[in-house]
Structure 1
Amino acid sequence: MGVLASAALLLPLLSAAPPAGADAPEAGSLQGQFARAAARHGVPESVLLAVSYLQSRWDGHGGAPSVTGGYGPMHLTDAVTALTRSAPHHSDGEEDPRGDSSRPARTEAPAPVPSADRLPERLRTLERASALSGIPAGELRTRTGANIEGGAALLAAAQREAGLPASTDPADWYGAVARYSGADDTATATAYANDVFDVIRTGETRTTDSGQVVALRADPSVAPATGQVAALGLRAPVAGPVECPRTVACEWIPAPYEEFGDGDYGNHDKADRPASQSIDYIVVHDTEATWDVTLGLVQNPEYVSWQYSLRSSDGHVAQHLPLKDVGWHAGNWFVNAKSVGLEHEGFLTAPDSWYTEAMYRASARLVRYLAARYDIPLDRQHVLGHDNVPGTVTSTIRGMHTDPGPYWDWAHYFRLLGRPIVPSSGPHAGVVTIRPDYDTHRPVHTGCETAGTACAPHGSGAVRLHTAPSGDAPLVKDVGLRPGREDSTTGVNDTGARASTGQSFAVAERRGDWTAVWYLGQKAWFHNPRKRPTAVNGRGLVLTPREGLAEVPVYGRAYPEASAYPAGVPVQAVSPLPYKLLAGQRYVVGDRTPGEYLFAPTFDTTGHTVVRGQEEYYEIQFGHRVAFVKAADVRVSRI
């Protein structure tokens, strides 16, 4: 992949430290701040609390902005202040997102540079909140109480502008809540308001990042006046063949399918899934770019493609490809051909540039819909991060992407998916599933801004793996990432000694507060104290080399044997990765799948062929990334 030139992009603020003066509310005061702001502006307290929950889950994030420049519990947006430079997801010049070694690597195009004076209104709500409340913008960004006041003032103004009274009944505030979303289309504003009122109906209680408990009592009888959205004057979403659940706001913004000549075309492949090939994986990405830039890139025929983009500010979804077609997004052609790619507006190396609850919820609804449609299990061997997709061959391992990274909250995501990560066995189980407490688990990561420099402290769903049961022991090695066998590092993009929430591994040994698992062909230890565990115990299928084999090769793709290829289709090498699965080691099993290769070398789809062999493979959780082994090489058991 070529290096992306002129990648000057917008937001977020990437500073490792929150702004000076960002306050932490006194114990017990945050609930009171919501109550006082609601009373002062005539907004029902439940509405104010529910809006804040959907934006930030009541967290202040130390005064740092979200990925769309939103500040504080009310997510007041000031994108101009958060203006910075970064590079979009597929711009590092190393990974070929198409991932088919039989075709030329994908060449990318320069990203557009957005202008700060053309930012949409949804990214400039802090300015208006300041005018309405009389509170200086700096205080709205850094003082929690001021931020809540500003959000209440915006809600009250939306109610007045709709010609509605400041009713004490939450049901009368549906239109104001929809307006608060900042969405410019009816579907997104409606989906946002529905989520807010779902929070009101079900209630929530949570300990925030400032250590305070905030509670919203459930009001299951509330029946909002949903017809108020029609009076807001918002546009209809772009019509098209969208494939989304009704519970998300989804519009059609197609990726181009265009021929350039000399056998080159972009930016995806036509296919006929699932008739041609099953869809087995959902790949979670972050964009490393803002929403407008992301849409500009996916509509560029010389760039790459994915099925869906999700906006952080309000959870809006854009679909770019029919699900039957194959996007170029995962860097592994076997995975691309059998997956759906979801790009989330966000930044891996900006830990405090947080995602909104609105986007997490919209994403979870979309994934549940896809999983039900294609019978995809809701687990971490099928719902992958881009950082879990394996390199295709040894030479591509180092270039594979690392998003969404250690700051994506997989535990919360799986709760929203309806599959919370819970123990299924006792303390002597043969399998563990990683699950530290996201908010309080804060391992040091480095390199968010400068190599070797610590990132801002932040919650994380990742644990580190050591060569011995001690925090002073070296981290385990990844011979694929570092052929010279150097130790792994604490770098935020270094996946060589990292296990993430939801990933399951076979237990190799337990010793006090430490647990060892089989990982990349070696015994790897992580801190797992009984009083504050970082994993839950479970059961599962595991595999090990069959009797008589000292080791078996590990692969990054499950391609057919040579004899399966028909005339005219070039045989793809079944190339092992530089790892070994050794006798006595066990790894948790995912799918069993036949070897498959989608031959799609031309713009004209009449020559496309799916090659399917007799050789079968098992997907395994081998390291931070999944891998494949031949079924004939292993035996499977349940522990």
Structure 2
Amino acid sequence: MMMKKLLLAGVLIVGAQQAALVGTAQATAAPLPAAFDKAASTYEVPRDLLVALGYAETHLDDHGGQPSAMNGFGVMHLVSNPSSHTLEEAAKITSLTAAKLKTDDASNVLGGAAVLRAKADKLGLTATERKDPAKWYEAVAAYGGAANETTARVYADAVYEVLAAGVNTAGVKSTAKVVEPDRGKYNSDPRTLAATTDYPGALWAAASSSNYAVSNRPTDEKIDRIIIHVTQGSYAGTISWFQNSAAKVSAHYVVRSSDGQITQMVREKNRAFHAGVSSYNHRSIGIEHEGFINDASWFTDQMYRSSAALTKNIADRYGIPKDRSHIIGHVEVPGSDHTDPGSHWNWTKYMSYVTGGTGGGGGTNPYTAEKVCGDGYKVIDSQALGTAGTVYLLYNSTTANNCVATLKKTSLGKASATSAFLQVAGKTKVTDSGSFTYYAGPIRAAAEDKCVTWGGSVGSSTYTSPPEHCG
């Protein structure tokens, strides 16, 4: 948690298993199901898409009217800060006061629907198009107020992932509905490969240069602490906030709740502004975790394992003891006025993963993607599946063939659910799925001058690419 009053909001989301969408957030006093029905009808917004947006932002929890790190309010996260004004926009459209929009659930949902419809109108969606959830992608991306198009896509993708999984929390239900969204200007793949990060498997999204200090650690300053934070907002929103020069806060890493995806935002050698105490910024690495401290539903096992693997890796590289004197919560920083990660954070489980090695999956896979696909194939793309494994896309320049392989990192040598797939534009999707000990695949196909869609899964962690690598 970066600021005492300001908290974070939703954006760089992403690719993930949302089986945990059967949430546990408590229903608030207002009848949320009726609120979503009324708001969707009033502003002609697809009801389940509106629910999915609210869930991606807050798990449909109003957090007692308290603001997020981005100064957003209510289940629909209506924001009022120097760069985003959806709260004021909602007040203008609905003629409701900002105070009511902040504290009354039904009003907040109505305001969220009004803002989303306004984004659709600005894009020129017709009455017919408004009935199709696939056509709302750019409007959803705009609702998040992201700092850039990459983060906006992460935000929108997260909403459509919730839509595909369905919601059953706080008395609100939506039917799982897989939609292939029309991404419009967001159609290109925003991911950055892990080669640019300090931690293999992490994505990279640079924080604003105003939100960290360039340094030369550990040469000039020893790194001897790892600090655990909770974002008080969504994964994508946190990333967006750290990219906003007005924030004056950041962290080195952000971890997603649903699947443990990790985004690095500040290089470890530099000082992120995360601890609130200058001396601890100098000596520590900060890891933010998507969620709110008063809602345990955000703290999934995938998040714990992924974060623990990251912490173990950092500790090993810098010689940091793996104990609770050196791996601490923000609340434990001397002089801090923060309370994260809060009472719902399971330190016993987390530290067992850090010290026991299970966070990283235990052992090393004896195979590589090149070994699985064969001679002549080189990796051209990859996507970490949390800490469970990695799916790879390879290309053979001699044969003009692509190949996909998914390599496990957990349950190595034991048969467990693993898959890989490859679909060349205009051709049938080919999938290798089953219980495998080390990998799924290889799937090879000629794809010269053709777009490909590829991906795979290990357990509940999955990835599906957009059409890409076209020619």
Q: What is the TM-score normalised by the length of structure 2?
A: 0.51
- Report the equivalent of 1:126: 87
Task: Mark the runs of 5 or more structure 1 residues left unpaired by the alignment.
Answer: 1-8, 14-22, 80-118, 208-212, 258-265, 272-276, 299-305, 390-398, 410-459, 462-499, 506-539, 542-587, 593-639
Change in CA separation of 1:175 and 1:372 when aligned onto 2, cut-off 3 Å: farther
Choose which of 25, 28, 31 in structure 1 pairs with 2:29. 25
Distance 1:72 1:214 in 2: 15
Change in CA separation of 1:325 and 1:132 when aligned onto 2, cut-off 3 Å: closer
Q: How does 1:148-547 map to 2 (within 5 A)?
A: 148-166=109-127, 167-207=130-170, 213-219=171-177, 221-229=178-186, 241-242=196-197, 250-251=205-206, 253=208, 255-257=212-214, 268-270=217-219, 283-285=227-229, 296=248, 307-308=252-253, 319-321=265-267, 323=268, 340-342=285-287, 367=307, 370=310, 384-386=327-329, 400=334, 405=339, 408=341, 460-461=343-344, 501-503=346-348
Of structures 1 and 2, the larger Rg is shown by 1
The answer to whether the 8 Å contact 1:66/1:356 transfers is no
Distance 1:78 1:325 in 2: 30
Distance 2:198 2:273 in 1: 19
Choose which of 57, 60, 63 in structure 2 pairs with 1:61. 63
Q: Could you tell me how far 1:164 is from its partner in structure 2?
A: 1.9
Letter in 2 for 1:341: G
The answer to whether the 8 Å contact 1:188/1:249 transfers is no
Change in CA separation of 1:155 and 1:361 when aligned onto 2, cut-off 3 Å: farther
Q: Deviations over 1:200-239 (max 9, x none)?
A: 11112123xxxxx2222211x31111234369xxx999xx
- Report the equivalent of 1:529: none
- SS of 2:206's partner is strand
- SS of 2:176's partner is coil
Q: Deviations over 1:525-557 (max 9, x none)?
A: xxxxxxxxxxxxxxx99xxxxxxxxxxxxxxxx
User: Identity of counterpart residues, as a percentage?
Assistant: 27
Distance 2:204 2:300 in 1: 13
- Report the equivalent of 1:448: none
Distance 1:355 1:307 in 2: 23
Distance 1:334 1:66 in 2: 24
The answer to whether the 8 Å contact 1:129/1:153 transfers is yes
Distance 1:380 1:128 in 2: 47
Change in CA separation of 1:229 and 1:135 when aligned onto 2, cut-off 3 Å: farther
The answer to whether the 8 Å contact 1:285/1:342 transfers is yes
Q: Could you tell me how far 1:31 is from its partner in structure 2?
A: 0.7
- Report the equivalent of 1:482: none
Change in CA separation of 1:194 and 1:404 when aligned onto 2, cut-off 3 Å: farther
Q: Could you tell me how far 1:42 is from its partner in structure 2?
A: 0.9
Q: Could you tell me how far 1:329 is from its partner in structure 2?
A: 7.5
Q: Deviations over 1:120-141 (max 9, x none)?
A: 1x2x211111112222322212
- SS of 1:177's partner is helix
- Report the equivalent of 2:47: 45
The count of aligned residue pairs is 311
The answer to whether the 8 Å contact 1:284/1:342 transfers is yes
The answer to whether the 8 Å contact 1:76/1:126 transfers is yes
The answer to whether the 8 Å contact 1:285/1:403 transfers is no
Change in CA separation of 1:214 and 1:310 when aligned onto 2, cut-off 3 Å: same
Letter in 2 for 1:69: N
- SS of 2:100's partner is helix
Q: What is the RMSD computed on CA atoms of the aligned residues? A: 5.6
Task: Mark the runs of 5 or more structure 2 residues left unpaired by the alignment.
Answer: 8-26, 233-237, 317-321, 358-471
Distance 2:274 2:5 in 1: 22
Q: What is the TM-score normalised by the length of structure 1?
A: 0.39
Query: Highest relative contact order (Cα 8 Å, sep 6+), 1 or 2?
Result: 2
Letter in 1 for 2:70: T
